[in-house]
Amino acid sequence: MRERGQGEIVGFVSYTVKPETQFGEIGLNAVHPDHAGQGIGTHLYRLTLERMRDQGVKAVEVSTGGDPSHAAARRAYQKVGFVAALPSVALYRAL
């Protein structure tokens, strides 16, 4: 999605759609730190949700960390209507 005038890329969003279940997921996404706090992430999420809706998606999932470094991401997701649904735990094992 190229929306801002000069052609400079300051953020991105990846997403997947599963038409058979009408389910979508927002994947990797970021806004360059020099442009943080300007509403760019919120704008990108709104555009992404519109595209997903146009593709027949009825529900969308996005995941992020619960630590302080992910607070800005959580706020941006909440601005476009996401709510925390279930707490989750990540388990790891060294091999």
- Output the pLDDT for position 5: 60
Q: Which residues contact 52 (CB under 8 A, 6 or more apart)?
A: 15, 17, 24, 60
Query: How high is the pLDDT of residue 19?
Result: 92
Place of tokens 């735990």: 89
Measured in degrees and rounded to the nearest 5, phi and psi for residue 53 equal -60, -45
Domain residue extents for the chain: 11-79
Which residue is it, tokens 């800005």? 72
For the segment 13-57, what is each residue's pLDDT rounded down to a tens digit? 999 999 999 999 999 999 999 999 999 999 999 999 999 999 999
Class for the domain spanning 11-79: alpha beta
- The encoded tokens of residue 51 equal 């595209």
Q: Is residue 40 within 8 Å of 11, Cβ to Cβ?
A: yes
Name residue, tokens 């990108």. Answer: 44
Helix, strand, or coil (residue 43): helix
The mean pLDDT value of the chain amounts to 89
